[in-house]
Amino acid sequence: MFVSCGRDQPNVGISFGDFIKPNYSTLVSFKYCTLKPSHSLNSLESFIPSLIERLSKENADNVEVFFYFPVRPSQTDISEFNLVLHHSNQQFLDKTNDALKALQFSNIADCQLEQESKNFSKLKSDTFATTETLVETMTCDYLQNYNFATLNLVFEQLISALADVSIGLELHYLETASPKQTFQWRTVFPSAEDRASFLEDWRLLQVSSEMQDLLAEQATCGESELFKSYKII
C-alpha cells in the first residue's frame, strides 16, 4: 500500500510497491463505438484507408492504432467495436480526434472516449506474421495490501513457465493513474486456433493451477473478453 505522509513527518511509510513499478512504454486510449443503424462493417472498412492516410501524415513516433471487434458465441451481426490508440502523448490523441471529426466518422458510428488513458506495459513480447490477432482481456482489482510489486513475482513465474509452451503470445499490463487498485491483463494470440492450442498445452502443465491460485490470492478478476484485433498503423 502507498502511504502518504504529512509535510513535516519522516517517510517511514514507504513500501515495497514504491520501488517496483511497471515499465510503462506508452499510453492506451479506448473509444467504445457502435455503428449507426444505416451503416455496416463495409462502411467502416471503406473508411479506414482515409483514416490511415490522415494519421500517417502526423509522423508520430511510438504510435499504434487498432480496431477491436468482440468475439461472442452465436454472434451474427457485429455493430460494436473499439478504436484502440497506443500513443506517447496527448497531442496524438487530439490529432486523432480531429481526424475523425474532419472525416465525419460520426456519420458512421457513435463513439465514447474512455475518461482516462491507461498506462501500458508489455511484459512479454512476440512477433506476429500478420496484423490480425486475437486479444483476450481481463479486468482485475487488487486485494488489500497487494499491488504490482507483489503480483510482479507471479508475472515473472508465469513468463518463465511459458517457455515450455510452443505457442507465441504477448502479455500486456494496463493500469490507470487512479485508482491504482484496478488493472487490465491482456493476452495477445496469433489466432483463435493458436489460443485453443495454448489452452490445451497450458492445462497439462502443473504450474497452470499454481499460477491461478497465486493470482487469486492477490486479486479478483471478472470474466475475460475476446476481441479480433486489426492493426492499421
* Residues 44-70, mean pLDDT to the nearest whole number: 93
CA angle centred on 172, ends 217 and 158, rounded to 5°: 50
Is residue 58's pLDDT more than 90? Answer: no
d(CA 134, CA 233): 17
Measured from the Cβ of residue 17, the count of other Cβ atoms closer than 10 Å reads 20
Cβ contact 185:222 at 8 Å: no
For 165-184, write each residue's pLDDT tens digit.
888 899 999 998 776 789 99
For 63-120, write each residue's pLDDT tens digit.
999 999 999 887 778 899 999 999 999 999 999 999 999 999 999 999 999 888 999 9
- Residue 209: CB partners within 8 Å, gap ≥ 6? none
Q: Which three cell numbers stand for residue 145?
A: 495490501
Q: Which domains does the chain have, with CATH numbers?
A: 20-231 (3.30.70.100)
pTM of structure: 0.88
Cβ contact 124:170 at 8 Å: yes
User: What per-residue confidence (pLDDT) applies to 167?
Assistant: 86
**Span of 17-21, 65-69, 142-146 with lowest mean pLDDT:** 17-21
Residue 18 gets which letter from DSSP? G
d(CA 85, CA 92): 9
d(CA 170, CA 189): 7
Q: Which residue has the cell 482515409?
A: 50
Calculate the CA dihedral of residues 188, 191, 194, 199 and round it to 10 degrees. Answer: 50
Q: How far lies 28's CA from each of 1, 154, 221, in Å?
A: 25, 24, 20
User: What per-residue confidence (pLDDT) applies to 75?
Assistant: 72
User: What per-residue confidence (pLDDT) applies to 19?
Assistant: 56
d(CA 72, CA 116): 26
